Structure 1
Amino acid sequence: MTTDEVGQLTDHAAALGRLKTKKSQILYALEHMPRGCTVEDVRRWLFKHGQKEPGRPYAAAIVNEWRARNGVTDTGGHVLLTPELIAEMDEADREVPEPAEPPKPDGAKGFYAVALLSIGVSVDTSWRFFEQRLGITDTWERVALFSVMEAALIACGWAMRGGVRRDGRPGPARLVAWALTAFAAFAALSLSGPIAGTARVLLGPVLGLVMLHLALGIEIRASRQRTTTWARVGRELRERVLSLLGLGDDGRDALARTRDRAALRAAKLALASRWTPWRKARLRKALHVSHVAHDPAQRDRMLRELGVLQHADKLAETTQPSPW
């Protein structure tokens, strides 16, 4: 807090102290606050300058009367729509951004090259399988038959790419691609046995399919695009765990969270019984960590926490107007 701000606080506090009624203090606050302030802003401003907060219904009546007298509209804390602001919004609406092209994966050419080489292994396996296991010896007949699987794998890769770019899901083409890979595994194991056959499968259709995924910018499980029920459940559980740990995304940094927790801990220890283990030492440590000695806002937060805890049993005695 600068010297000028301290001086302003002192001047306002002195001026408010000379006023005799709460109404005059509220009117003084309205004259020295921005025009769009709310009732809660007025109450907090008075508390900040050392005055007791007036009741909300009482303050609301005075604030509304002052607004009507001065022609101020209640915006509820939102930005007032002026003609200039409306013109800027219309101008922004007319500027339609061009659709961005989907990002291309890094190293796509290298992935294509590896996929092409792996297809060579798959071609060799299919060529030998059709000759030795199926007894097809005619060259052109074998070419027409074994090339079907390789072409189908490439077609499935392109279809999966289109599905991911369209709605975030690879679609049924993924199942077809893995079914073809399973058939290639059967052919390789039948032709070369478990050891050599496994090598043919891993270095052939499996490697080719993975490289096609990477080259076409496709994730096999589309993990970044999942919108399934389990994905929503996972996100909800993650947010709840973070909230329980005090790590929710509320705009605070780690230091602010630490000080806020220490302020609450200090308020609880101040009200704890004398038999609480190491109460005084823990209270001193919490006060030191919360930085209340040097931060007025943090000190105000701790005192508010203390007030709430002290008078929690009187909450049920508070009379509220019926909402119906």
Structure 2
Amino acid sequence: MPTHPLITWAVDHPWPAAGIAAAGIAALGAALWATVRTARAITWPPGPVLAAGAGAIVCTIYSGDTSWRFAGEHLGMVDTTERALMFGAGELALLACAVMARANKAATATDATAGSAGVPGVLVWVITGVQVIPCYATSGIVGGTVRAVIGPVLAGLLWHLAMGLEIRVARPEALSTGLPAVIGRELRERLLSRLGLATRDRTAEQITRDRATARAVHLAAVLELHPDGALSGYRRRRLAAAVARSGAGTDGQQRHQLLQQLAARRTSGQLATVPLASPWAGTPVPDEAYPRTPLGVTGAQLRAMDPLAVVHLVRDAHPAVEPAGIAALCTEYGVPVSETQVRVALRAGNALHPTPAPALARPLPGPAPVVPDGVRLLPVTCRPAVPRPAPAVAAARTRTRPVVTAEYVPEHPVPAPGDVPDEDVPEGDRDVPDPDPLIEQARDEYGTDVPGIRALKARYGVGQARAQRIRDALGGTP
């Protein structure tokens, strides 16, 4: 029996053959290891999605067999190559539309909605409906129904589940925004409301009581309109049965509900004459419905910020407003601040634009010395100081002492300290109204921190007397 040349070569060269075999085994192991790692790294869809995808593939192949037969028997595609290229156009289009519908769902999905498949989702069902035609044309009514259900219909359903189930698994509470889903939800809610089941979380007994209460209200209203009618006895028996079934005799809440509904029905005619205030008259339209928020920041964001930061934002939005106006705007936006806080935040000191003190024509004279009437001061003369000798007794020391001489001058009396000429009084002290407006301004600016007289004079450009009055009004100590 002849042997293979490779076997003969391996027998004649055992070491090279062993090396080649080991290298081949190592390459096969590396390829298998890389395949396993790649498969583990793939994020596989959930199990239901994989099962739906596998079923959709099988049903698509089943539908492809129907398309193959239909192409040869009814479309005249006798060439095998032509038929192989053309028979699966519907199945490929179905798969492409399903993939695009899945992409649209993922792109439009949110936490509250499951997204919409859009036009590709509609085309999936259009293609499924068209593929039903070859099923009946190829196999008749019975066979065509089987081919249609197992082939294109199940393929479309399973592709829909495989492409859309993942979103519902991740967010079961999400609502679909597609047209069929919206119509279905609306019809379901209307049907439940029509059947009296719109109020959820009720037991069957409570539903029965509510229905009996509504029936009792209706029968009582009819009996009020026709108390002596032909069916009055029958209606009274039905009313008694409805009241008993409603439980109004033993349940206070149900009895209150029954009486309220009955009162509303009996007095419903008063709705036509109930006096109501007109919403079209008497409501003034404000010039500015809502205050302009600074730099587009909402009031809620301003209230969550630091008040000093809010002051800067309001000042940037209203650069020409004084600190008092800035404080008012901040309070209007919901951040109450005072004018002092505004000045601190803006580092504006006592005023945003301090008023310079007016320049005096000449400096005020110092306080005049108090001298008796008829006395005139003479120039002061000083004796030269005698150098102090070395340490000696205290009696030997001499001092320089000023000598003041005075003589009586009756014809030139000295003015009193408060009699300052008009030309020496600052402009801020002339014609001061009572009360002094600077007192309130100083109280707003300094509060309880009473400044000194010199600071008040420099700040407001007033004289000694007026500064003293302002300080005394603020409660300062002399």
Q: Which has the higher helix share?
A: 1
- Please state which band the TM-score falls in when normalised by the shorter chain: 0.3 to 0.5
- Using CA pairs under 8 Å that are at least 6 residues apart, name the structure with larger relative contact order, 1 or 2: 1
TM-score (norm 2): 0.33
Higher alpha-carbon Rg: 2
